[in-house]
Copies of this chain bind each other. A is one copy, B any other.
Amino acid sequence: MVHRLPLRPFPVSGAPSPTFAPILRPASSLHLYPRRSFTSTIMAGFKQEPHKLLVIPGPIEVSDEVLYANAHPSVSHMSADFSSVFGDCIRMTREVLYTTTAQPFLISGSGTLGWDQVAANLVESGEHVLVLNSGYFGDSFAECLKVYGANVDEIRAPFGAAATLPDVEKAVLSKKYKIVAFTHVDTSTGVLSDAKGIAETVKRVSPETLVVMDSVCSVASEEIRMDDWRIDVVLTASQKGLGTPPGLSILAASEQAMKVFENRSTPPASYYASWKKWLPIMQSYEKGSAAYFATPPVNLIYAYHVSLTQITKQSPSLEERFKLHKEASQRVKGAAAELGLEQLPLDPAFAANGMTAIYLPPGVAASDLIPRLLKRDVVVAGGLHKDHKEKYFRIGHMGVTVVDKSRGDIDKIIAAMKDSVAEALASKKTA
């Protein structure tokens, strides 16, 4: 039986207001929703304000449809309408990660809150955790784990590299770790870790060890096969590949991780980040029924819903999205190489597809270059890694910037980079 249901979440302007009334539907009916027409029919009127092109490695450019959903009229977090949207978000989060069994958690907060979720729910005081450190975010994740009592060992990769699989194997053979944690794409360096290889190595040597991946800068821009690769935790945030404004901590935990959580001998070491609190809430919303622990970021959930719908139900497909990110990445990286600029990642095979970290030309400071890009309405980011931040800059290429070619964002980035580098070098010569 096919359910034909009214368009939601926005009513046609001026029509009698059917919005936010309880609409009953089976939890499995998501694919029956004619959401594809949502954009074209209802939102024709909304265009975001003209602005400079934001191509830092997150927050990224957001589509008009997503932004408009962020301006959704206030709705009760306990309403049937919101429950159904929240439930959809939980299901579509699984789709993006290619998992059918993991438990998503969608919690008001930044990506950083995902670390606290891992540390407070999966680690007990004194347990051993191995962090594969490929930059700034590895340092911080390790620090967070220690706050909650973990004994942290680290494999610190050279700047521009990630831990090698033999190093990981050796470490996991040498000690029983509760968790091996790594950053899929370290936003500070643009280094891409071999997620599949790391998980395969850890699970082969020590199947009980949980594989935890900080994917803040990789979900929806890099391929992640959570179930196939046996990743136990993927943690991310809304404002990067997921194409939504910042403010949502998004995490998915495997069945194995949830068992480890359930078998804790001590209670979770956080209140706000406690899965004891959040698990029943997520389960209830997924069944289409509201539940309360802390008020969810209602508007942002509507926005996330629109973005997830674009990613999982519309064209291009998720696989095509990964390809488009690779293509755009190659174009930006190629243009930098043509300018004689080197990338931070030492091995091109382990460079992110959603961002590029590039060394500045010799003699040119970030403050010589970044304002020249800004003058051309292109906003890029400076360095972030504590020891090297003055030496490089970063460009994000994720989401609509990559997927919607009609925007011409990649052309604009490349042209602005070429002109700005030439101008900066010329000003050095005349100086």
Which positions in A face B, CB cutoff 8 Å? 10-11, 13-15, 17, 19-22, 46, 48-52, 54, 56, 58-62, 67-68, 70-79, 108-113, 115-116, 119, 143-144, 147-148, 237, 239, 245-247, 267-274, 292-300, 374, 377, 379, 381-382, 384
When distances are taken between beta carbons in the complex, the residues of chain B under 8 Å from A51 are 11, 17, 19-20, 73-75
Shortest beta-carbon contacts, A-B, top 8: A247-B297, A112-B294, A71-B71, A110-B294, A144-B271, A51-B73, A245-B299, A67-B71
Q: How far is the CB of A380 from chain B (nearest CB, A)?
A: 9
A272 touches B13 (CB 8 A): no
B271 touches A108 (CB 8 A): no
Q: How far is the CB of A51 from chain B (nearest CB, A)?
A: 4
B237 touches A295 (CB 8 A): yes
Q: Which residue of B lies closest to A117 (CB)?
A: B272
Alpha-carbon gap, A273 to B148, bound state (A): 12
Of B144, B246, B299, the contact of A70 (CB 8 Å cutoff) = B299
A267 touches B75 (CB 8 A): no
Alpha-carbon gap, A273 to B382, bound state (A): 26
Interface centre among A68, A271, A374 (most CB of B within 10 A): A271
When distances are taken between beta carbons in the complex, the residues of chain B under 8 Å from A384 are 292
Alpha-carbon gap, A297 to B237, bound state (A): 11
B297 touches A21 (CB 8 A): no
Alpha-carbon gap, A46 to B71, bound state (A): 10
When distances are taken between beta carbons in the complex, the residues of chain B under 8 Å from A10 are 49
B74 touches A295 (CB 8 A): no
A52 touches B21 (CB 8 A): yes
10 contacts between A and B (CB under 8 A): A10-B49, A11-B49, A15-B50, A20-B52, A20-B379, A59-B77, A62-B73, A70-B299, A108-B109, A300-B300
Known: A52-B17, A297-B247. A116 touches B76 (CB 8 A): no
A77 touches B246 (CB 8 A): yes
When distances are taken between beta carbons in the complex, the residues of chain B under 8 Å from A67 are 71-73, 299
Known: A239-B295, A271-B148, A274-B147. A74 touches B62 (CB 8 A): yes
Alpha-carbon gap, A268 to B119, bound state (A): 15
B271 touches A115 (CB 8 A): yes
When distances are taken between beta carbons in the complex, the residues of chain B under 8 Å from A52 are 17, 19-21
B115 touches A297 (CB 8 A): no
Q: Which residue of B lies closest to A45 (CB)?
A: B45
When distances are taken between beta carbons in the complex, the residues of chain B under 8 Å from A111 are 294-295
Alpha-carbon gap, A161 to B269, bound state (A): 32
When distances are taken between beta carbons in the complex, the residues of chain B under 8 Å from A246 are 77, 108, 295-299
Alpha-carbon gap, A79 to B50, bound state (A): 17
When distances are taken between beta carbons in the complex, the residues of chain B under 8 Å from A294 are 110-113
A21 touches B115 (CB 8 A): no
Of B11, B13, B143, the contact of A271 (CB 8 Å cutoff) = B143
